[in-house]
Chains A and B, each alone.
Chain A
Amino acid sequence: MKSEQAALQVQGLTKRFDRLAVDALDLTVRAGEFYALVGPNGAGKTTTLRMVAGLLRPDAGSVAIFGVDALSDPVAAKQIMAWVSDEPMIYDKLTPVEYLEFVAGLWGVDPKRSTPAARDLLVSLGLEPHLNERCEGFSKGMRQKVALAGALVHDPSLIILDEPLTGLDALSARHVKGILSERVRAGCTVIMTTHILEVAERMADRIGVIAAGRLVAEGTLDELRAQNGHRNTSLEDLFIALVDENAEAA
C-alpha cells in the first residue's frame, strides 16, 4: 500500500532554451512509488528532472520535494534526494570506495554508517574485485554502477535516475533493477526516465508519458490502456499511439 504523501510535486514547470523544452508541466509522484517517465527524444524528460534535482533553474513553476520547496530551500531538498545522470560523471583518480566515502561526506552521513553501507552497495553491484582500484580504467557500465552506488549511499528518500540502464550488460541491469525495487519496497521513491519501455512496464507503479514538454498521459499500465481505449496492448504500442496523437495535435 503506497503512501498518499507527495514525494515530488511539480506545478507549472517551464523551461525555454531555443525552443520551449518544458511547457507548464504539472507532475505529482507519491511517496514510496516507482515512477517511470517515458517519451521520445527531446520530449523534455531530462530537462524536467534536471530542474527537479536543482541542476537547472526553471523559468517558471514550483518544485516541492516531500513538501520542501526546492527552489527557495535547495539545500534541504537536496539532502533527501539523489540524482544519477545518464552520463556517469565520477572522479577518475578516486577508487569506488573513496568516491562513496566522499559522497557520504558531502551528505554528512556518519562514517560508522556509511563505510559498511558503501562496501555492501559496491559488492551487491558486482564491484568487489575493483573496490580499491582507481575508476580511470572503468567501463561505462562500471562507472554507472559506481555512480548509482553513490546515489544510494546516503540513503535518500527520493532517487531520480536519468536512463540508468544505458550501457549496462544484462546481468548488471538486473542487479540495478533489483536494487531499485528493493529500495522502493523499503519505502524510497524512485523516478526514472527510460527508453526501455519493457522496464517501465515491468517495474513502474505508474508511468508518465511526456511529449513536447507536456505530460500527455499518466497512470498505471491498465489505467493508460483504459484512458486510451487500447485494451491488451503493450506499453510500446500505447506509447507510439500517444506520441503520434500528440504530434498530430501539435
Chain B
Amino acid sequence: MSGSTTLTWFARHELKLAWREWLAMMTGGRRGRKRAAAIGLIAFAALMHLPAYAVIGRFATLQLPLDKTSLIVLTSTILLAWALMLSQAIESVTRVFYARADLDLIMSSPAKLTNIFSVRIAAIALMVTGMALLFSTPFVDVLVLNGGARWLAGFGVVVAIGFSAAALAIAITILLFRLIGPARTRLIAQIVAAIIGAGFVIALQVAAILSYGTLSRFAVLTSDAAAAFAPGPDSLLWWPARAALGDIEALLALLAASLVLLGGVMAIFSPRFADTAIGASAQAITSRRGNRALAFRGGSRQQALRRKEFLLLKRDPWLISQTLMQLLYLVPPALLLWRSFSDSSAAIVLITPVVVMAAGQLAGGLAWLTICGEDAADLVATAPLSPAAVLRAKIEVVLIVIGAVFAPLVAALALASPLQSAVTAVGVALGAASATAIQLWFRVQARRSQFRRRQTSSRLATIAEAFSSIGWAATSALALSLPAEAAASGLLTAAIVAITWKLSPRRG
C-alpha cells in the first residue's frame, strides 16, 4: 500500500470505529435499538429548539456593527463554548493515549506512524467538532429562523473553535507528558480539563459576586467596567463574534487560523505522538508503588469493604477530577455565602439549589462506582457476607463521602441562616439518597473503567437521576420562599423517583 492509500484506508478505519462507538453509546450496545435511538435523537434535537429559543431567540436580530456590551457578551459565549470543547478534547486525547486497545497493533505494523497519528489527531478534531456541531445546531437553527441565513456562519465558527480546541488539547497533553511524565499526566490532564471546563464560568461568577453580590455572570459582562476595559471595535478579539454574525472576512480568517493551528500541531506533534503513546503504555506496564497500607487491618467484614471502596475512590483519577469540578462549582456559592454573611444579602438563597444539585450529581457518580463498578465481583460474591450487607456497606460509603464533602458548607450556612442550612441539609440528603437509590435499582455489574459509559446501561436511570437532582434542588429553593410551591415540587420529584422505581428491573 502506498502512503496515501494507507492514509485514506486508516482514515476510513478511524471514522468507522468512531461511528460504531457513537452508535453503541446511543443504543446502549443493543442492535435492535438503532431505530428507537434515531427517533429519540431527532425528538431530542427538536425539543432542544425550545430552550435554545428561550436562551438565544432574542439575540437573532443583532446586526453588525455591535455595541461593545453585545460584543463582550457574544465573545464570552463563544469563549465559554471553546473552553468546554477544549476540556472535552483534552479528555479525548488522554483516552487515546491510555487506551491500549489498538496501539500495540498499530505500532507493530509497517505503516508510517507519523501519517497514522496525523489521521488520529484529525479524527480527534473531527470528533470534538462533530459533537459541538450537534449541540449547537438547535441554537444556530433558532438564530437562522429568526434572523436570517447570515447566522449560518455560526456553524463555521463552531468548526473553527472545534479545530483550534482539539489542536490546543493535543499540544497541552503532549507537553504535559514531556513536563511531568506519563504517570502524572493522566490525573493532571483530567484536572486541567475540569478546571478549563468550569473555570471560565466560575471566574465570571466570582467576579460577579465580588463586584455586584450576585451569581449572574451577565452582571460582569454587561457592566460599564467591562466595556471600559475592553479593546476598541476593530480589535481582533471581536473577530469570532463578527464571524458568527455573518462577516465572511472574519469567518474565513477564523477558519484559516484554526486550520493552520491544527495543521501545525499535526506536523509538530504527529512524530511525537507515537513516543507519547509508547510512554503511556510503558507507564501502564511499570507499576506505581504504594505505601505499605494498613488500611485493611482489623475491623469487621463490612469495614473491610468500606475501606476498600474509600481507597479505590481515593485512587480514582476520574473521580478526583469530577469531585474537583463539583467543588469548583461550589466556590461561587461559598463566596456568595461569605459575602452575604457580612452584608445580609438576599442572594444567599441561591446557594441551596446549587449545593443540592451538586450533591445529587456527585452521589449518582459515586453510587455507580461503588455499587456497579466492582472489579472483583466474583471475590465479593463468594465472600461470606450476605448480598444485603455488601450493598449496605457500599451505600454507606456514598453517603459518608457526600456527608464529608457537603457538611462543612451546610455548617457554614448555619452561621448565616439556620433555617436555610436545615433545608439545604435535607435537600442534600434527599438528592443523594434518590441518586443512590436509582443507581441501586438499575445496577448492572461493570468494571470501574467503564464509568464513562455508565449512561448507556440505562438511559432511563440517567434521565431520572438528572430530574431527581433538579427536582430536589428546585424544592429546596422553593422551600425557603414559597412553601406551597415547594410542597408541589417535592411531591412531583418524589413521584419521579417512585415511577423510576416502578419501572426499574430491581423492583421488589
Contact = CB atoms under 8 A, between A and B. Distances in A.
| Pairing of A with B | yes
A101 B303 CA distance: 12
A136 B315 CA distance: 12
B284 A102 contact: no
A236 B381 CA distance: 35
Interface string B346-372: 000000000000000000000000000
A93 B311 contact: yes
Contacts of B296: 98, 101-102, 104-105, 111
Interface string A49-93: 000011100000000000000000011101101110100011111
A101 to B, nearest CB: 4
A53 B382 CA distance: 6
A132 interface: yes
Contacts of B311: 93-94, 98
Interface of B: 283-293, 295-301, 303-305, 307-308, 311-312, 315-316, 375-386, 448
A164 B297 CA distance: 28
Given A94-B312, A106-B304, A79 B293 contact: no
B295 A89 contact: no
Interface in A128-159: 130, 132-138, 147, 150
A94 B291 CA distance: 10
Nearest to A106: B383
Interface string A87-121: 00111111101100111111110010001000000
Q: Looking at A54, A90, A105, A147, which has the most chain B CB atoms within 10 Å of its CB?
A: A105
B301 A108 contact: yes
A137 B308 contact: no
Given A98-B296, A101-B295, A108-B301, A89 B375 contact: yes
Interface residues of A, number: 41
Contact of B375 (A78, A90, A103, A115): A90
B382 A138 contact: no
Contact of A107 (B293, B301, B377): B301
A91 B384 contact: no
A146 to B, nearest CB: 10
Given A55-B382, A91-B312, A133-B289, 20 more contacts: A78-B383, A78-B384, A78-B385, A81-B382, A82-B382, A85-B378, A89-B379, A91-B376, A98-B290, A98-B293, A101-B295, A102-B296, A105-B299, A105-B301, A106-B301, A108-B301, A115-B297, A133-B290, A134-B287, A135-B287
A91 B287 contact: no
A83 B378 contact: yes
B378 A134 contact: no
A89 B289 contact: no
B288 A136 contact: yes
Contact of B378 (A55, A81, A107): A55
Contacts of A79: 384
A147 B383 CA distance: 14
Interface in A178-224: none
B54 to A, nearest CB: 44
Contacts of B380: 106
A169 B315 CA distance: 31
A93 B316 contact: yes
Given A83-B378, A105-B307, A137 B287 contact: yes
A105 B290 contact: no
Enumerate the 5 nearest inter-chain pairs by beta-carbon distance, A residue then B residue, closest first. Answer: A105-B304, A133-B287, A101-B296, A79-B384, A93-B315
